[in-house]
Amino acid sequence: MMYRYMFKFSKQGEMRLLSHLDLQRLFHRMFRRIGVDLAHTKGYNPKPRIYIALPLSLGFESVSEYAEFLTEQRFDTDSLADSANAALPKGIRILDARRIELSPKTIPALVEYASYDISIPLGSAPPATGVVESFFLQDSIIVNRRDKKTKKNVPREAKHLITDVQKIEIAGETLNIRTVLCASGSETMNPLQLAEALCAFLGIEYKRETCRIVRLELYGMCRDAVRPLSDCVEPDEW
């Protein structure tokens, strides 16, 4: 019998420099250490059936990431989370583990939106909060997005990809923004694209390495409402 499990985990501190591919490898090693035999795909080149909801860009932190995996083993989820945390390095922590119903739709396919905290250094002459607010009130917001075919940055309309702005705060010389962005397929928006466009609007130098990005939550659509991803899967009560 096949069982499907979901992890909610955080990725912080030095682990923000761990790439998505290296994170997958880390989980594979962790499962081997704690005795979880992952199910594999069929075909010529079978792969472990573990899926991370939405790749996190290098340098980003997160307090709410999701992964699912399939196995023929049945586990107590509390013990599974404890064993996993004991085998993981500092900066990666399992926050919740649960067994969920089998479904042909994986967790990555459920993701529609993501919320972020974005912190941007402003220098010694920060603008007024109202000036920042006027950026979001524009009829059109253009960002540079990478074209998959040409591999070049091209200007694209992005206002429709910013679904909510929950906080605009200037603390000292730092601008803090909390926002919800589209995160589904071709409609995915990287918060750094927003930071770059905002810096251009404010007339300040954009430096990627000085921007701090923290992903707060991933959301899907279920029961006709936007809900955290953990609410978009059904528990396995069997």
pLDDT tens, position by position, 150-189: 778 889 999 999 999 999 999 989 999 999 999 998 889 9
User: What is the per-residue pLDDT for 149?
Assistant: 76
| Model pTM score | 0.93
Reported as type and span, the H/E element at residue 83 is helix 77-87
Structure tokens at 158: 């992005």
Contact yes or no for 209/105 (Cβ under 8 A): no
**149 Cβ contact list (under 8 Å, min separation 6):** none
The per-residue pLDDT for 31 is 96
